[in-house]
Every structure is written in C-alpha cells, then in structure tokens.
C-alpha cells in the first residue's frame, strides 16, 4: 500500500496531512488520509464505474454502490468494463483482505481493495465523501484497514420482533459503519423466532406470548397477543443479503437458560415436565433445559443441525448466560448426571452442558461463542467468550488463552440511556448510562499484555429490546453510538474524540439522506 501512496504523491496534486474544519469526514477514522487543493474529480450522470475483467464479485460490489448513490443523490452511475475517467475499481492481493486505498485526483477516482470486502469498505468511504462534498470531489488519498477482525452488533428480536425488511435496514446500517458481524438473538423466554422444521411447536407455540408487560416493574399488561418468527426461507434471504455486504450473520440459540418459550412448546425439555409458558414480562426465570436427560441434548443437536444448515458462520452462539440452577438442584435426572460425570456442583453441570454442545459443533466445523457466564464451571480452550458483565470476564478469558469478543455493558450496551436526564429527555429504557463519549472511550486491550491482546478478536454493541418495541426506537438507540463503537473496532489507538465529533456533524447528513432515525442528544448538546 505504501508504494501506491508514493505513486500518488508523484502526481501534479500535492497531498498534505490535514484536520482542517472542511477536511474529509470519514467514519470510522481512516488509518491515513491526505488531501490538497489541486484537481479532484467530478461525477455526473455520464460517469462510469469500471470493473476490470468484469469480475462478478467486483461487479456486485459496484452495483450496490450504484444503488446507494442513486437513492441518496438521484445520480445514476453506470457499471462498465473500461473507463478512463469516473471510478475505477481494482484488487491488489498485496493488501490485507479488508484493506483499501482510495485515490481522487486528476479527474478520476480509483478504489483498490485487498479483496472484494476491502473494495466494499473503500466505496463506503467514497459514499461518505459524496455525501459531504456532492459530485465535485476534492483531491484525496486514503490508505485504510481495520484494527480488529470482529466488528459487530447484536439485535434482540425475541423481546420485540422486527420484520425482515427492518433486519435488512439494520444490516445496511452496519455496512455503512464498516461493521462485519450481525449477531442475531433468535430465542429467549419471550419468544422463539426461528423456524425449526423438526420441531414445529417452537414457532406454533413458542413464538407467541399472550400479552406484554407495560412500563417498568409494574403488573400492568397490554392484553395484546404478540408473536412472529422467521421462516427458513426468510433467514436464507437475510444471510445472503448480509453476505453481499460482507457481514456474517451469527445466530444465537439460548441454552441452557432463557428457555421458557421452548419449554412452553415442549414441556418434556424441562426438569418439571409441565407448567411452562412463553413469558410476558422481562427478567431471569427459573425454567431451564434439563441437563440430566439425554433427550434434551438430542433436541439441541437436532435444532443446531438445522441452524448450521441456515447459517454458514464459523461461530454459533449458544448464550449460556443467566442460568438459574435451582431446578437442577431438585431434579433427580440432573443430580444423577452430576454423580455419573463426577461433577462437583451445578456450575460444573452447566460446563458439562456447554462442553457437550461445543464438541458437537466442533465436529461439524463450527466454533462456539458463549456469554461470559460459561467461564464459571470451566471451559475448553476452543470456546470464544463474549464478555458482557464488564470487561473482567474477557480479561480472565484472554489471560487463559481463549478468544474473546469484548462487549461490556459499561461501554457497549446500546439499550442503556444516552443522557443524564432520561426521565425528561428519553423514552422509557432499561437503565444505565452509556453516552457516545463513553462508547468511544472503550479500550478493549485494557489490563492485557501484548501477548494477551492477541486473544481479543474484536468488539460488539448490543441492543436488547425489552423497552424497544419499534424499529424506529431501535435506530434511535443504535445511532450515533454505533459510529463510536465502529471507530473503536476500526481505528484502535488512532482515535481522537474531538475530531470524531467534527466528522459526525458531517456524517449525520448521510443518516438524514438514508432516513435513519438517530438520537439527536450528541448533536444538540443534551448528551455527550
């Protein structure tokens, strides 16, 4: 990439480092950016995007860019095989896969990626520059690549259900921010959202709850049945849609806790064998899968077999969080399992459960992710930890040599309040306080040695939806905090909050063009 840079420096345009008020406002912050007052490039309806050799993967990336620019600016660019002006796309195998360079000067635009994904990110940066400057682009040179391989966001579709079109819009939002993982929370106490053909009751019974609690800590309900699930055809469509945008969809199938919806459909999966319901309020409930019955594991394996068919992701998330053990304590089958496996206590029984599922997944070429509670009974070296109860679990896992994704509630829970006066300024929420500045300040490497830092795969923002009943509200909680998280995952130690604030005042205009329903607190001074 350095050779490309020096070649550009030789042009008639003189490039300089800059942070002037009107300098390019790319989010997340690029690794290197320079611009000058020389000739840039002008795009028009006659401009073409050249895809050398007509490579199918590159053409697909170009066509996505064309659709975005047409929707946002009304300009219809054309994709062709050859173009001496306009936009020229290319691949340089010497670059890392997600790296790219962007050169604007002497009447043309050149975008080069280490792979189609890098090219896609370069076009996202160009898209931002077009939003900032219009069709008359300044002379700019960008060299860029991400710090972390895993840059994700989670959306909980169990507490409240979102349509396929809304999920696709969420994926579009991730793509704009150069995020590359969509963690899809599909099963929980309040609803089972994925079609499993082997067990039709999961969606017939488990996807529906009788009503939903209103407010926080009340006994008032809306009296309105609520439900919804994604068919396997819809899931394949979403997975393909995300893949076109270089986003991997990671499904989460909760176990052994957060199982009320599944137990309501198939009571034999629980220790008691009866008396279960799809939950109508929020919280942690005592109903969990029975770890003593082999039939439970047969069920989980049948479910995961269909999940693996639908999701090509390397990772399958099995939850593992907030699993009360009282039903296991009084369950003869669970106690017999503890004796048979020579376990010490119920925490080790959960570890047995997780290990057994992980072994099954590993045999099929998949890796397991679990929330940090799975550390409590001991884990294998191959399990990946998603650290949510602060960063301590992630630090402990990294020190033990496990792979880690950092998503501490202290910095990455995007369902938390955004201002210090939520009662006056914000919709009802779950609590907490995570403003943009707090998200931006997160250091995923804190308390880790250089060797231990290699275990940190990346970062993720989470949107739990107990108090988020509409997609407009979900966007309000995600944006602009997701931009701050994207910069944490992309730029690492290159971050500068003052410059981020400047760039976001420009980036906000692209939110407007896309029709995204972002929160204004960061921009109007009521938040930070």
Active site members:
322
**Measured distance CA(398)–CA(392) in Å, rounded:** 10
Which DSSP letter does residue 413 get? Answer: B
* 3-class DSSP state of 27: coil
Residue with the two structure tokens 């009447």: 107
Helix axis angle for 481-491 and 497-514, nearest 10°, is: 120
**Measured distance CA(292)–CA(331) in Å, rounded:** 8
In SS3 terms, 129-169 reads as HHHHHCCEEEEEEEEECCCCCEEEEEEECCCCCCCHHHHHH
For residue 431, CA distances in Å to 26, 390, 414, 424, 428 come to: 32, 15, 11, 14, 9
For residue 3, whether the previous peptide bond is cis, meaning omega lies within 30 degrees of 0, is no
**Measured distance CA(87)–CA(69) in Å, rounded:** 13
Residue with the two structure tokens 């697909």: 60
Helix axis angle for 56-73 and 497-514, nearest 10°, is: 80
For residue 256, whether the previous peptide bond is cis, meaning omega lies within 30 degrees of 0, is yes
The helix or strand, by DSSP H or E, that contains position 67, with its residue range, turns out to be helix 56-73
């Amino acid at each position: 990439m350095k050779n490309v840079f020096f070649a550009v420096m030789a042009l008639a345009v003189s490039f300089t480092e800059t942070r002037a008020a009107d300098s390019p406002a790319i989010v997340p912050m690029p690794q290197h950016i320079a611009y000058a007052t020389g000739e840039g490039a002008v795009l028009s309806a006659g401009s073409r995007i050249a895809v050398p050799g007509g490579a199918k993967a590159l053409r697909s990336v170009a066509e996505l860019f064309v659709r975005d620019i047409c929707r946002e600016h009304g300009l219809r660019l054309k994709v062709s095989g050859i173009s001496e002006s306009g936009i020229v796309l290319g691949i340089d195998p010497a670059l890392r896969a997600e790296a790219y360079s962007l050169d604007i000067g002497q009447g043309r635009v050149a975008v080069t990626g280490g792979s189609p994904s890098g090219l896609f990110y370069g076009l996202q940066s160009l898209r931002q520059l077009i939003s900032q400057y219009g069709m008359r682009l300044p002379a700019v040179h960008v060299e860029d690549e991400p710090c972390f391989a895993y840059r994700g966001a989670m959306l909980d579709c169990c507490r409240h259900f979102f349509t396929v079109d809304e999920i696709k819009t969420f994926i579009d939002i991730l793509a704009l921010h150069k995020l590359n993982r969509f963690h899809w929370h599909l099963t929980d106490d309040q609803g089972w959202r994925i079609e499993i053909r082997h067990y039709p009751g999961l969606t017939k019974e488990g996807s529906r709850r009788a009503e939903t609690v209103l407010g926080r800590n009340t006994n008032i309900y809306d009296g309105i049945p609520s439900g919804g699930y994604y068919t396997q055809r819809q899931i394949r469509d979403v997975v393909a849609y995300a893949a076109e945008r270089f986003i991997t969809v990671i499904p989460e199938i909760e176990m052994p806790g957060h199982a009320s919806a599944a137990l309501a459909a198939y009571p034999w999966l629980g220790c008691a064998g009866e008396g279960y319901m799809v939950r109508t309020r929020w919280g942690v409930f005592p109903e969990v899968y029975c770890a003593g019955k082999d039939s439970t594991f047969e069920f989980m394996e049948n479910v995961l077999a269909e999940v693996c068919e639908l999701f090509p992701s390397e990772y399958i998330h099995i939850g593992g969080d907030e699993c009360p053990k009282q039903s296991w304590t009084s369950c003869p089958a669970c106690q017999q399992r503890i004796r048979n496996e020579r376990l010490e206590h119920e925490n080790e029984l959960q570890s047995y459960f997780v290990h057994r599922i992980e072994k099954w997944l590993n045999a099929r070429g998949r890796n397991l992710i679990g929330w940090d509670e799975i550390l409590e009974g001991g884990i294998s070296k191959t399990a990946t930890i998603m650290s949510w109860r602060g960063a301590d679990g992630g630090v402990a896992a990294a020190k033990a040599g496990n792979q880690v994704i950092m998503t501490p509630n202290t910095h990455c829970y995007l369902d938390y309040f955004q201002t210090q006066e939520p009662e006056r300024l914000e919709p009802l929420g779950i609590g907490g306080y995570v403003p943009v500045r707090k998200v931006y300040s997160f250091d995923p490497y804190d308390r880790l040695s250089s060797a231990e830092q290699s275990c940190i795969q990346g970062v993720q923002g989470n949107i739990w939806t107990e108090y988020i009943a509409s997609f407009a509200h979900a966007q309000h909680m995600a944006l602009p905090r997701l931009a701050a998280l994207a910069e944490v995952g992309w730029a690492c130690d290159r971050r500068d909050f003052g410059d981020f604030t400047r760039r976001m005042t420009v980036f906000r205009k692209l939110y407007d063009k896309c029709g995204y329903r972002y929160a204004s607190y960061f921009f109007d001074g009521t938040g930070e």
